[in-house]
Amino acid sequence: MRAIRRTTLAAASALALGAGLAVTAAVSPVSAAGPDTTFLVLAPNGASTGPAAARVAAAQGTVVAEYPQIGVLVVRSTNPDFASAVAGAGVESVAATTGLGSALDEGETVEVESTTVQAATDASGEPLFGSQWDMPQINVPQAHTVTTGSANVVVGVLDSGISSSHPDLASQIAKDKSASCLGGVVDQTEASWNPTNSDHGTHVAGTIAAAINGVGVTGVAPGVKVAAVKVVNNDGLIYPEAAVCGFIWAAEQGMQITNNSYYIDPWEFNCRNDVRQRPVWQAVQRAIRYSHNKGVLNIASAGNSNVDLQHKFVDDGSPNDGSYPVEERTINGACVDLPAEAPGVVTVSATGPTRQKSYYSSYGQGVVDVTAPGGDTRFRTQGARSTITDAILSTTFNVVTRTNGWGYKQGTSMSGPHATGVAALALSAHPGLTPGQLATTLEQTADPIACPAGVYNPVPLLATNYDATCYGGQRNGFYGAGMVNAEQAVK
């Protein structure tokens, strides 16, 4: 089993918790200006953010975004002593988010060419459908005889943005519900939520809802709408304030499902018992719980580290943003992958064309809920060479030429959108399902896949060890309840 990626948190910026100055205290003496830093400031759970905002002002900070629904403030300050100065009554915790940006697992895109045909009436008529082995694997064509999805269902794609000019997506985007959440601040201008340096979100969106229009590919649920919720900045990093904003924005805009193909924090696991990370866990957890209570089912990818999420003891490969030396530390059950291991989130592992776990996919009994196609380009050659057509074909945006297209990617980032698309079809066929009922539908209609015997490694010729062991019976650590089944989900 590969060791889990986690490292000791360096003291890159200050954190203070608990008691301190009273809200009525005099303004702190002006300190020499430090770098302009973003902080998450949390009021006690269920309490007003008013006292916390007052403390922020007294500590020479500026509130740039306020989420009173969950008691979270996003603050900017150049006061190097801000964290200690803001602590006190009305403030439960505070953390600078400097150094807490997680790098998006972008994955290589291999582009392909597409022709245009007469407007198709079903998925099989799309020019590139013959290369979409993933769609028949989860019975999408059969599901489409019942529904291709309802335009009343809106899926939030929390990611790097969606190309609004893509011919397979232009008609699919709910522009009035799309926004950038970078910096934790909502910006609804169309340019703000379009991709800049990454086509990851465009690829994800195509798998969910690419149109049946005689161009390119089809999505699992081409009748539904997607909303771009941009949480990945131009450096390819996801900061916790952006994720918090994204969950709240999706909830307030009435989105019923979100897709989350990322993890928060450059350390793959966020440890509640770590004084620096705890405020991040609290803020994200509050945002997810709030969105769930507002009717949103949040779906997340399990990760590409081939890690057993049930048995995590040592992390020796984080952080992933290059800002700190990688160190090894022992971790325990207080450390979780966010958002994949947050309560109420549906977690998805990845399979290849043979319906076996993709060599890279993380797993874990009691963590993975379902599995879906994510691609596996190495299984045919036991890891010796890559067969790109065994990856997932979807919509792309070339960030160099600024042109739209189609191409292959692989990862649990690709499996999550398949489960999201099936959930969107199920909700279209059965309006009114609560998030819990929708999650149950995904699981109860999935096709069980048994654990492989012994130690599993489909790529022994790769230099890196990808050994994995599956635990469980009909519901197990590799596949959860099984492969999502679009046909069964819409019955």
Measured between alpha carbons, how far is 93 from 83 in angstroms, rounded to an integer? 9
Measured between alpha carbons, how far is 5 from 349 in angstroms, rounded to an integer? 18
Q: How far is CA 31 from the centre of its chain?
A: 38
Bond before 319 cis per omega within 30 degrees: yes
Counting every residue written for the chain, the total comes to 491
Confidence (pTM)? 0.89
159 is catalytic: yes
Which of 93, 349, 413, 428 is catalytic? The answer is 413
Which of 166, 200, 203, 292 is catalytic? The answer is 200
- DSSP structure string for 22-45: -TTSPPPPPPPP---EEEEEEPPT
413 is catalytic: yes
**Among 177, 153, 122, 135, which Cα is nearest to 426's?**
153
Q: Could you give phi then psi for residue 252, rounded to 5 degrees?
A: -70, -25
Which of 105, 134, 159, 321 is catalytic? The answer is 159
Instruction: Spell out the domains of the chain, with CATH numbers in brackets.
Output: 19-91 (3.30.70), 110-489 (3.40.50.200)
- The secondary structure element, H or E, covering residue 327 is none
Q: What is the pLDDT along the chain (491 residues), one digit of tens a residue?
A: 333 332 222 222 222 222 222 222 333 444 467 899 999 999 999 999 999 999 999 999 999 999 999 999 999 999 999 999 999 999 999 999 876 665 666 666 787 876 666 666 789 899 999 999 999 999 999 999 999 999 999 999 999 999 999 999 999 999 999 999 999 999 999 999 999 999 999 999 999 999 999 999 999 999 999 999 999 998 888 889 999 999 999 999 999 999 999 877 555 666 776 777 788 889 999 999 999 999 999 999 999 989 999 886 666 655 555 555 666 666 666 777 788 888 999 999 999 999 999 999 999 999 999 999 999 999 999 999 999 999 999 999 999 999 999 999 999 999 999 999 999 999 999 999 999 999 999 999 999 999 999 999 999 999 999 999 999 999 999 999 999 999 999 99
Residue 476, number of CB atoms within 10 A of its CB: 23
Q: At what angle do helices 412-429 and 435-444 cross, to 10 degrees?
A: 110
Q: Rounded to 5, what percent of the chain is helix, strand, coil?
A: 25, 20, 55
**Among 307, 193, 179, which Cα is nearest to 245's?**
179
447 is catalytic: no
